[in-house]
Structure 1
């Protein structure tokens, strides 16, 4: 497996709508393995293909404490949502920045698994939040877009400051 470079905000690819995947392939299977390796190494609980400069509708997540419940979805979509939950979110593409985001607490998601089989399952709480966050990436949306204008501005200013400090070191 290969560790991929994570694209950082404001890279324009993070704001693009990704292309659907037509079918499974060896290249896609390798991408999924590399995305899991990169996500675990970061460390993170989710990663979307545009975060590694691949404009395809592919996500990987694993919200388990033991990091042994990996989920890979191709062309994922949310079929139904209900409830409401507010969670402190962060993003591997905006490291060091966190903010409270309110999303549906219960979702029904559908997509293709890495075997090319259509799957559909319910998710709630952290898994629901994580799946929605990663699916947003496929649509060119970032978690800060769910924040108020003032909070988003402050969060992105903080990120810019952190990036400048790292550059100076």
Structure 2
């Protein structure tokens, strides 16, 4: 959790229990397609509430990660709660993150299916390095270095892309992107209905 190993952690993270669910933005909305602003109000109650709300939204949507612009806030902040292919669960948040430019010797390219809460429904294969290192601060200003392998590395890179105004769709060939958008049009209503039902079940 947050760069530190723990023996156990609640299935519903405390932030998600405290937070309120926010609407998830969808591809085509302007806030998703421009670079986010640096987080300046580190340590503020408002930032703490935003982190809580993002975790609550992520929990209801059953996602792996969520960037602030996916709840309509153009700040350089993302949260994650994901389990990698080795069964290790990763939970945390990062403000003003920067990804290290790793040398080729420390990474290889992995081609795996990827989805996005702001592209409800479709998954597409996206090549990404299998190792990532992200540096930033938490909501209270503590400096963090978060290292990920495999699926968690993919999650860190996916969320960092969001903060630059990029979706995984932008990494696809034009024809594949058009196919994903058509599939999204067919599936999105069902995805939204499942999210609403889960929010109701969780009292959110």
Q: Please point out which of 95, 111, 127 is paired with 1:74.
A: 95
Q: Does 2:107 match 1:88? A: no
Task: Give the number of aligned pairs.
Answer: 167
What TM-score comes out, normalization by structure 2 length?
0.76
Structure 1 residue runs of 5 or longer lacking an equivalent are: none
Q: Distance in 2 between matches of 1:116 and 1:19?
A: 17
The offset of 1:69, in angstroms, is: 3.7
**TM-superposition CA deviations, 1:16-65 (whole Å, max 9, x none):** 11000122311001100110011011110100000000000010011128
Q: CA 1:122–1:157 in structure 2 vs 1: closer, same or farther (change >3 Å)? A: same
> Counterpart in 2 of 1:16?
34
| 1:80 and 1:109 in contact (8 A); partners too | no
| Two-structure CA RMSD over aligned residues (Å) | 2.1
Q: Distance in 1 between matches of 2:172 and 2:149?
A: 21
Return the index of the structure with the highest Cα Rg: 2
Q: Please point out which of 48, 72, 80 is paired with 1:61.
A: 80
1:45-60 correspondence to structure 2 within 5 Å? 45-60=64-79
Q: CA 1:6–1:67 in structure 2 vs 1: closer, same or farther (change >3 Å)? A: farther
Structure 2 residue runs of 5 or longer lacking an equivalent are: 1-18, 193-204
The offset of 1:119, in angstroms, is: 0.9
1:17-166 correspondence to structure 2 within 5 Å? 17-22=35-40, 23-64=42-83, 69-81=90-102, 82-163=107-188
Provide runs of 4+ in structure 1 moved above 3 Å: 65-69, 161-167
